[in-house]
Amino acid sequence: MFELVVNGAFEAAHRLVDYPGKCNRLHGHSWTVEMSVSGDKLDNIGMVADFKVLKSMLMEVLDAMDHQYLNELPQFKELNPTAEHLAKYIYETIEANDLFKTNCKLNYIKVWESPKAAVIYRRMLNLQAGVSEIFSSIQGEGKYVGCRQLFIRLIGCNMDCPYCDTDKLAHSNLVPCVLEKCEGYEGDLELKNPLDLNDIMPYINYRLQQPHHSISITGGEPLLYPQIILELAKNLKPLSIPLFLETNGTLVKQLAQVIDEIDIISMDMKLPSDIGKAYWQEHEEFLKLASEKDVYVKIVVSNESTVEDFEKALSIIKNIDENILLVLQPITPLGGLHEAPPEKMLKWQTRAMQVLKNVRVIPQTHKMMNQL
């Protein structure tokens, strides 16, 4: 990650309405402004961004206020032109530039009204849900099993599957956010929930200094918080790393909000015989939308899973695209459900291969490494 900093200056007068002191009177400042930009993708000549472009971008905003009475400018008609409001205005004006929609992130704007007094504005992202843990490990399930990922696990789920292996992490708002200091859960750090993304982005950037295949946004059910996913995607865009969504495949409207930012989708298809409720319509609509991405379907198979449910699932997948990968995952026994015998797994794979082009049986390999 590279951080670029440019500075600019302008002269302007203002008064602070209702301020209980001399600043209530008309007075001027020699304002100095610092802009910080970051990114990790270099262009063909080895730059994140041209300093000349960044300085021009900053000065375009500052020149419009140079030698002005700030109280009379449209942007401050209803706001006191404090250093705080100045910093926020400059930040939001510059952030709209196309540069920050691709490779770069605007970190902050710092405004000095004197050599001894300054204000920093950075966008607070107001994470509205807890994060239970962030850790680096292998993907233990599905198509990308064995790939190294950075996992960001959000708290909360719209379902209550009896075999859930993250039940406490998924449903409790009381758990702290655990950040591992190193691989394998040794020497963890804890942060109090709820968190703002600004609290965890430095840690995420630090962990991604090491190579990772992708970032897994998981849960619980992460699609309960589409705005969080969008903010994560926006902050992670400069890193040019794929976003991997692990989902139960039921929240169609929420998927529509974020799908442009997602690269890979791991979609569960829940069998009513295992969870006690049918979500066939939701699964079908979800998969239709997800099929425009790199998506695969995962079905957890227990000894209690019924053939009728399995046939229904196969029908939905085939009608959308017979080339979609289906992963049959033998259940890790939990919640009163029992492991499917090998002959059942093989029989179901044989049946699925008569309908779909790509069917695999993959157990939870991370369990073999005592990871989660």
Backbone angles phi, psi at 165, to 5 degrees: -95, 5
Tell me the two tokens of residue 47: 């730059």
Q: Are 84 and 91 in contact (CB under 8 A)?
A: no
31 confidence band (pLDDT: 50, 70, 90): very high
- List the alpha helices (DSSP H) in the chain: 51-63, 83-95, 167-171, 197-207, 226-236, 252-258, 272-275, 280-290, 307-320, 342-353
Residue 168 has pLDDT above 60, yes or no: no
Residue 184 has pLDDT above 70, yes or no: no
What's the pLDDT score for residue 217? 96
Q: Are 8 and 36 in contact (CB under 8 A)?
A: no
Domain pair 2-121 / 131-369, same fold: no
**Amino acid, res. 204:** I
316 confidence band (pLDDT: 50, 70, 90): very high
Residue 104 has pLDDT above 90, yes or no: no
CA–CA distance, 225 with 254 (Å, rounded to integer): 8
Name the architecture of domain 131-369.
Answer: Alpha-Beta Barrel (3.20)
Question: Backbone dihedral region of 26: left (phi > 0), alpha (psi from -120 to 50 degrees) or beta?
Answer: beta
What's the pLDDT score for residue 371? 56
What's the pLDDT score for residue 335? 62
Please report, for the chain, the start and end positions of each structural domain, with discontinuous segments joined by +: 2-121, 131-369
234 confidence band (pLDDT: 50, 70, 90): confident
What is the β-pairing status of strands 131-138 and 27-39? unpaired
Higher pLDDT, 338 or 175: 338
Residue with tokens 């794979």: 349
Residue 169 has pLDDT above 60, yes or no: no
Residue 222 has pLDDT above 60, yes or no: yes
**Amino acid, res. 286:** F
What's the pLDDT score for residue 171? 59
Backbone angles phi, psi at 276, to 5 degrees: 85, 5
The superfamily in CATH containing domain 2-121 is 6-pyruvoyl tetrahydropterin synthase/QueD (3.30.479.10)
- Which range is least confidently modeled, 92-96, 169-173, 356-360, 364-368? 169-173
CA–CA distance, 364 with 352 (Å, rounded to integer): 20
Residue 167 has pLDDT above 60, yes or no: no
